[in-house]
């Protein structure tokens, strides 16, 4: 790191021009990411349900309608004129013809052209289906947008609703794009005011915005490039904007604060910059590496929703680290003390060794057991709420209650018998007698409305069976139904269960199977990095245990809020499904865990410096907290505002993401770092730095000991 510091001061202008130039060039393509990302990604592509979908296309030529148009007729759908002809046929057929004329629409089938099947008519006899199939080789979003925008509402006295995956995806994408702008409009002015208060000058306050902005734009390019080869979730944009701005501020604050310390100690600008890179720069690199490796764990899950966060997270963390550890020192070397120009505060901007954080640390360490007991009791209570959480999965109900796509989907739920648009698709192979017995057994299952063999003209060894259910497929009840069907004892050679409920089931099971691997990865990588940073075995274990405790408390609180529909007076209205989205909980847990380790490294870096300088535990912790507490608190507050702004989103899982990460960060920066860490380190005393002799030797050989 010292060699890197020398490189930075020798080539400051070249480094700045190169970094800014590359990011500016990437922006040409990066902002194209908004139009190339997708709203799905919750299903398991390596499952039976995915195989069923593939076989339905290959063996049966089934291409599910991407758009479902519901027509609420002004009269009974089966009412006839004097000649016995359906009165509403002309209206529905004209609507079908207009839809078919849209470029990109391959076919439109409706209730009448399909022979008036009762399952395509609502129970009150007034609403019927139109099934719109899109061409495979076109970009679907513009076609869906044209259908939704031009046909939703009144059509010759009939009310038209547009549902289906395409309509829901369009609504989610548009809502998120709007919400990102609104969240940033809300957050950025508050962040700027906080930056001015924390940094004390306009010039210094501009550095983190410089780093965060470049990290965000550069990450947009990364996910745009990835979207050209694979599916990337639209929700990755929220993580990029939140983490980019937040980490840019965190790391820049750490670097600028250390530079001011070095200048206050009498070092010239060149030496101060080199020392800053060697100390704060090292902390930034280790912190960024920790956060990135924690986020990599989301790549172990099969859903591209979570894999997208791994990609976006690693990209934005890497660019924030480069910006803070290289570009900011280069700018500090060029600015020198002018970094304090345009001051908005009269106080001395150099950090002090005496202050409120030092007093808090000494207060805590004088009575560690009572403080430890009360803090753990509080976190444990919140943690206990997590035992009552019921997990579900994202569907159209994440949208605002007044969203046309959600209103249309609710029409399907409320007015039709069973879920005709999302049947349980079952493919079987075997003797006719075994198939007949299996169909009969299916009909006896709870909440099954109807079962039937679907005739086909295709030559195939598979037999297609449709089972219509009257419960929400993507729900815990839908999951139990699929598991029950798969458990039916049968003489069939092969049984594959697909459809909406099976997609949900396989996604949940995929997450469950990947959790142990992801958890082991997080534990090992964070333990190794913290050991390499501190040379201690016990400090990494302490950090992991405390992070799990505060994280469990956060998840318990979030589950209580969103599962029960609490705090809508504060967060705004959102649909309550009685569950919390599993993928979102995994994402919140891993992002919050990574950021918690970020602050752990901020604190331990300063405590270790004092320990290595010969101070005892009490003085090391007190001085370390004094020198890092202000940074951690300011960084946490700014990150909480940045992510908390997403709680204003109209998409409920964005509310959950924003509130969850904000709560986790604030709990960690206050209760954990200010109280629990000093209390535990006081009780552990000299054992804080214990490690087996062979590990100590390894640490020294790696050149990481002071």
Check if the beta carbon of residue 483 is closer than 8 Å to that of residue 505.
yes
Q: Which pLDDT value is given to residue 159?
A: 94
- The dotted CATH code for 1-35+200-350 is 1.20.1640.10
- 404-505 has the same fold as 66-163: yes
Residue 706 scores a pLDDT above 80: no
Q: Which pLDDT value is given to residue 350?
A: 59
Q: Which pLDDT value is given to residue 137?
A: 62
Rounded distance, CA 406 to CA 384, Å? 33
3-state secondary structure (DSSP) of residue 43: coil
Q: Which pLDDT value is given to residue 657?
A: 85
CATH 1.10.10.60: does it fit domain 66-163?
Answer: no
Domain boundaries, the chain: 1-35+200-350, 66-163, 404-505
The tokens describing 151, both together, are 């046909």
Residue 349 scores a pLDDT above 70: no
In this predicted model, which residue has the larger pLDDT, 474 or 134? 134
In this prediction the pTM is 0.81
In this predicted model, which residue has the larger pLDDT, 416 or 700? 416
What pLDDT, in 10s, does the model give residues 563-591? 888 888 888 887 787 888 888 888 888 88
Give me the helix-helix angle, 538-564 and 368-384, nearest 10°: 40
CA distances from 35 to 15, 174, 252 (A): 32, 10, 31
Rounded distance, CA 475 to CA 468, Å? 15
Q: Which pLDDT value is given to residue 241?
A: 84
Q: Which pLDDT value is given to residue 96?
A: 93
Burial bucket for residue 141 (CB in 10 Å: 0-12, 13-18, 19+)? middle
What pLDDT, in 10s, does the model give residues 206-234? 888 888 888 998 889 988 888 888 888 88
What pLDDT, in 10s, does the model give residues 598-647? 888 888 888 988 888 888 989 999 998 888 887 888 888 888 888 888 88
Q: Which pLDDT value is given to residue 301?
A: 92
Check if the beta carbon of residue 485 is closer than 8 Å to that of residue 497.
yes
Rounded distance, CA 214 to CA 248, Å? 9
Q: DSSP characters for 293-322? A: HHHHGGGGSS-HHHHHHHHHHHHHHHHHHH
Residue 251 scores a pLDDT above 60: yes
Q: Which pLDDT value is given to residue 483?
A: 93
Residue 297 scores a pLDDT above 90: yes
Q: Which CATH class is domain 404-505?
A: alpha beta
Q: Are strands 494-499 and 424-429 parallel, antiparallel or unpaired?
A: antiparallel
The model's confidence at residue 524, banded by pLDDT at 50, 70 and 90, is very high
Residue 362 scores a pLDDT above 70: yes
Lowest-confidence pick of 128-142, 251-265, 273-287: 128-142
Per-residue 3-state assignment (H helix, E strand, C coil) for 89-122: HHHHHHHHHHHHCCCCEEEEEECCCCCCCHHHEC
What mean pLDDT value characterizes the chain? 86
Residue 129 scores a pLDDT above 90: no
The tokens describing 445, both together, are 């299952």
Q: Which pLDDT value is given to residue 438?
A: 92
Which regions of 389-526 does DSSP assign to beta strands (E)? 391-392, 424-429, 448-453, 463-469, 494-499
What pLDDT, in 10s, does the model give residues 135-182? 876 667 788 889 999 999 999 999 999 988 778 878 887 887 788 788
Length in residues, the chain: 706
CA angle 563, 565, 571 (to 5 degrees): 120
Over residues 446-472, the mean pLDDT reads 85
666: left (phi over 0), alpha (psi -120 to 50) or beta: alpha
Residue 348 scores a pLDDT above 70: no
The tokens describing 338, both together, are 């002018």
Look at residues 270, 281, 394 and name the one whose alpha carbon lies nearest to residue 334.
270
């Amino acid at each position: 790191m010292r060699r890197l510091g020398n490189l930075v001061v020798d080539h400051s202008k070249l480094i700045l021009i190169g970094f800014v130039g590359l990011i500016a060039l990437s922006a040409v393509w990066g902002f194209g990411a908004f139009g190339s990302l997708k709203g799905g990604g919750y299903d398991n592509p390596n499952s039976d349900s995915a195989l069923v979908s593939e076989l339905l296309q290959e063996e049966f030529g089934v291409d599910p309608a991407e758009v479902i148009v519901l027509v609420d007729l002004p009269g009974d759908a089966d009412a006839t004129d004097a000649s016995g002809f359906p009165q509403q046929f002309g209206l529905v057929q004209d609507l079908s013809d207009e839809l078919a004329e849209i470029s990109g629409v391959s076919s439109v089938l409706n209730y009448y052209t399909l022979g008036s099947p009762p399952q395509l008519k609502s129970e009150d006899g007034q609403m019927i289906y139109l099934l719109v199939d899109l061409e495979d080789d076109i970009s679907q979003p513009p076609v869906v947008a044209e259908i939704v925008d031009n046909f939703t509402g009144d059509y010759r006295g009939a009310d038209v609703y547009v549902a289906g995956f395409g309509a829901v995806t369009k609504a989610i994408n548009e809502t998120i794009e709007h919400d990102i702008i609104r969240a940033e409009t809300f957050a950025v002015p508050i962040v700027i005011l906080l930056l001015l208060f924390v940094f004390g000058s306009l010039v210094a306050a501009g550095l983190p915005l410089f780093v965060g902005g470049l990290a965000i734009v550069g990450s947009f390019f990364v996910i745009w490039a990835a979207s050209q080869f694979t599916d990337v979730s639209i929700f990755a944009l929220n993580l990029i904007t939140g983490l980019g701005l937040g980490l840019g501020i965190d790391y820049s604050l750490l670097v600028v604060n250390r530079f001011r310390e070095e200048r206050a100690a009498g070092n010239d600008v060149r030496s101060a910059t080199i020392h800053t890179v060697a100390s704060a720069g090292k902390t930034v690199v280790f912190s960024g590496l920790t956060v990135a490796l924690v986020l990599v764990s989301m790549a172990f899950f099969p859903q591209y929703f979570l894999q997208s966060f791994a990609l976006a997270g690693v990209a934005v963390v890497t660019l924030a680290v480069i910006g803070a550890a290289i570009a900011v020192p280069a700018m500090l070397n060029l600015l020198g003390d002018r970094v304090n120009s345009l001051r908005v505060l009269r106080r001395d901007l150099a950090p002090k060794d005496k202050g409120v954080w030092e007093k808090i640390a000494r207060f805590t360490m004088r009575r560690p057991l009572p403080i430890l007991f009360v803090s753990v009791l509080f976190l444990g209570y919140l943690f206990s709420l997590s035992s009552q959480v019921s997990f579900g999965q994202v569907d159209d109900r994440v949208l605002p209650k007044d969203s046309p796509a959600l209103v249309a989907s609710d029409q399907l739920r409320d007015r039709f018998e069973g879920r005709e648009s999302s049947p349980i698709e079952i493919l079987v192979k075997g003797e006719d007698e075994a198939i007949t017995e299996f169909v009969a057994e299916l009909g006896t299952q709870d909440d099954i409305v109807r079962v039937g063999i679907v005739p086909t003209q295709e030559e195939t060894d598979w037999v297609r069976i449709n089972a219509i259910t009257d419960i929400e497929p993507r729900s815990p009840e839908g999951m139990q139904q699929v598991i029950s069907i798969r458990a039916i004892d049968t003489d069939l050679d092969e049984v594959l269960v697909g459809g909406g409920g099976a997609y949900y089931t396989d996604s949940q099971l995929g997450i469950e199977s990947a959790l142990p691997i992801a958890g082991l990865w997080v534990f090992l990588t964070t333990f190794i990095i913290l050991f390499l940073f501190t040379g201690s075995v016990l400090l990494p274990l302490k950090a992991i245990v405390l992070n799990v405790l505060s994280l469990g408390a956060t998840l318990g609180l979030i589950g209580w809020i969103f599962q029960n529909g609490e705090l809508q007076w504060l967060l705004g209205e959102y649909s309550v499904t009685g569950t919390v989205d599993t993928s979102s909980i995994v994402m919140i847990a891993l992002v919050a865990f990574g950021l918690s380790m970020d602050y752990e490294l901020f604190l331990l870096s300063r405590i270790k410096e004092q320990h290595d300088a010969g101070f005892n535990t009490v003085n090391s912790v007190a001085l370390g907290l004094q020198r890092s507490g202000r940074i951690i608190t300011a960084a946490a507050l700014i990150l909480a505002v940045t992510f908390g702004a997403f709680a204003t989103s109209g998409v409920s899982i964005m509310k959950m993401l924003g509130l969850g990460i904000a709560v986790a960060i604030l709990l960690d920066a206050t209760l954990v770092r200010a109280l629990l860490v000093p209390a535990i380190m006081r009780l552990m005393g000299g054992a804080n730095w214990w490690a087996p002799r062979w590990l100590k030797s390894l640490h020294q050989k790696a050149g990481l000991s002071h």
